[in-house]
A and B are shown apart, each in its own frame.
Chain A
Amino acid sequence: MNRDLNIKVHHLTRVEGHGNIVVNMKDGVLEKAHLSIVEPPRFFEAMMKGRSFHEAAIITSRICGICSLGHQLTSLVTTEAALGLEISEQTRLLRKLLVHGATLQSNVLHAYFLAAPDFLGAGSVFPLIATHKDVVLRALRMKRVANDIGDIVSGRAVHPITPVPGGFTRIPEKAELLEIKRKLLEEALPDGLETVETMKALAGAIPQFERETEYISLKHPDEYALYEGAIFSSDSGLIPVENYLDVTNEYIVDHSTSKHAKYNRNSYFVGALARWNNNNSQLGDEAQAAAEAMGLKPNCYNPYMNTIAQVVEAVHCILDSVRIIDKLIDNGLKNEKPNQTPTCYGRGIGSNEVPRGILFHDYTYDNKGNIVAANCIIPTGQNLANIDDDMVKLVPEIINKSKAEITLALEMLVRAYDPCISCSVHLLEVDFIE
């Protein structure tokens, strides 16, 4: 079909930050299809220079207003690598519990408030509140359990305060952990399984589009990797975290203020679907059953299924949190002090899986424990080239649809990646009724 098509979605809504979708087709030839990022760069790396190792995590946790925990933990891991700070098994377990809470929260909110309205053709979550009150309350209940984990383990639900380099400044009480366990089993688990049912009912509305790409995530020999592991590419296998620059290969494009990344191909995918594709065999029976119920299979190449992978992970996080709490209590909670005595100075590289994908921090410290260089590579930046490549394949496949339908398909595609371009400001805009 020799069609002309011009789509420009200015400031895509329901995506965290500023992104524009631009598609140009002339005489049936696609000239342009990309996500243009107009969010100004924030120069966090420059802000980090000269800061002490006590401050690094506090600053970087503000990179994102919602998923502050991910940046905080990656920052701590990075500082510990640079300064040779060993952490205890208890610290490791408490951090894993925090990661589960944050992943549960982010995945559930994305599925219910950003993706489900698309599957229901509702435009936004607001028309759904009145008609699906129980579903909205369920999402909020799950968010609350996740917040409780943050509150109890990290001292605060947003911008945690007790996790510091080398450990925690406060260890939760046994009774507090048991209360979280009770809520996980009595509230979050039934809600999580109901969520699977809800998403199963919506699965028919998920667009059928496939593009096989390179999937990159952490991988760990003993568990579904979220807190730790080595980098794994579905194309070329394991790479040590220290060699992350060989993977990310950041480069600049004209249409984005955010850098793009590529490894073995033109682009790669990070996030829940990449983790699922690379590590699904390490999930427990309940999460596997959830995946099967919602139609998510290993080697899934449909980016819209990222949301479904997120729901599978939510089930995993609920159950694995219970396991971690049991282990912490079995081991006996110890009132440990954080290990903050550096054994070396220099460069450290850290990586965690945060809800939107693999995150890297890289700091170099001088011998006073102050930062001289920093680099942070966020998941959304790594996904941008992959989103563009999806668009280039998707647009010709759906070119016979109306412009409105194509636009919606593209918006849904971008939202499926759950991009967090800049979630930093909440400015309320008000018109007074005179």
Chain B
Amino acid sequence: MAALTVIGVGNRLRGDDAVGPLLIDALATLPDLDLELVDAGSDVLGILEYFEGRKHVLVVDACCMGKESGTLVSFDPAQAELILDKDPMSLHGLGLAEALGMADSLQMLPGNLKIIGIEPDSIQFNSTLSPPVQRALKLAIEKVQAEVQQLSVREEN
């Protein structure tokens, strides 16, 4: 089992919503990282399968947090209120908030779950990221690297 499971959520054709899957692509090119990488696309319910039997999970998604475009926030879902079914852009049956709520009710949440949320600039159909989210993507890569390092240090101790 890899030290850390990283799950990228989002649609590659919807501008900054692609940041999750693109992070997975970027991490796949880096050598020597003990990671399990999952591009969940928009099938958010599918991420529950990657919670099972995993201790450390990081979910990366474009998040509407009311912050400046490109702002990256790493948080424990318990620290935040994930808004169910109100955002008009996620009336997709089930979004990440719903999937996490479901995992919580089913006691399927991994012991250490973090979300890296990145505030999008635009989620219109587009195959490129906006400049602020491109910068956030670099930060997110560093975050994941730091997280793996921290986990391996903890493991060694």
- Give me the interface of A with B, judged by CB distance under 8 Å: 11-18, 42-43, 47, 59, 62, 65-66, 68, 109, 113-114, 124-126, 129-130, 133, 136-137, 140, 143-144, 147, 156-159, 423-433
Complex alpha-carbon distance, A109 and B44, angstroms: 13
- Report chain A residues within 8 Å CB of B43: 65-66, 157-158
Q: Which of B5-13, B29-37, B131-139 contacts A (4 or more CB under 8 A)?
A: B5-13
Which residue, B92, B94, B96, B105, has most C-beta atoms of chain A within 10 A? B92
Q: How far is the CA of A12 from the CA of B91 in the complex (A)?
A: 8
Q: Is A17 within 8 A of B75, CB to CB?
A: no
B110 at the A interface (CB under 8 A): no
- CA separation between A108 and B45, bound complex, in Å? 13
For the complex, give the distance between the alpha carbons of A126 and B73 in Å.
27
Whether B49 contacts A147 by the Cβ 8 Å rule is yes
On whether the beta carbons of B10 and A426 are closer than 8 Å, the reply is: yes
- Alpha-carbon distance between A47 and B115 when the two chains are bound, in angstroms: 32
Chain B 107-120 interface 0/1 with A at a Cβ cutoff of 8 Å (1 = within): 00000000101001
For residue B89, CB closer than 8 A to chain A, the reply is yes
Whether A430 and B63, one on each chain, are in contact in the complex, defined by CB atoms closer than 8 angstroms, is yes
In Å, the complex CA distance between A159 and B61 comes to 18
Q: Which of B19-53 contact A (CB under 8 A)?
A: 39-46, 48-49
Query: How many whole Å from B41's CB to the nearest CB in chain A?
Result: 4
Contact A427 B41 (CB under 8 A): no
Q: Are A16 and B91 in contact (CB under 8 A)?
A: yes
Interchain CB contact under 8 A, A424 and B63:
no
Do B64 and A430 have beta carbons less than 8 Å apart? yes
Task: Supply 15 further A-B pairs (C-beta < 8 A) apart from A14-B91, A65-B11, A428-B64.
Answer: A13-B85, A15-B93, A59-B13, A65-B92, A109-B45, A113-B94, A129-B106, A143-B45, A158-B43, A427-B89, A429-B63, A429-B64, A430-B82, A431-B80, A432-B65
Q: What are 22 A-B residue pairs whose CB atoms fall within 8 Å in the complex?
A: A16-B93, A65-B92, A109-B93, A113-B94, A126-B102, A157-B43, A158-B39, A424-B11, A424-B42, A425-B42, A425-B89, A426-B61, A426-B90, A426-B95, A428-B64, A428-B87, A428-B96, A429-B63, A429-B65, A432-B79, A432-B81, A433-B81
Looking at the assembled complex, report how far the CB atom of A15 sits from the nearest CB atom of chain B, in whole angstroms: 7
In order of increasing CB-CB distance, the 10 nearest A-B pairs are: A65-B42, A129-B105, A158-B41, A429-B87, A429-B83, A158-B43, A428-B63, A429-B64, A428-B96, A62-B13
Interface presence of B154 (CB below 8 A): no
Complex partner residue of A16 from B45, B88, B92, CB under 8 angstroms: B92
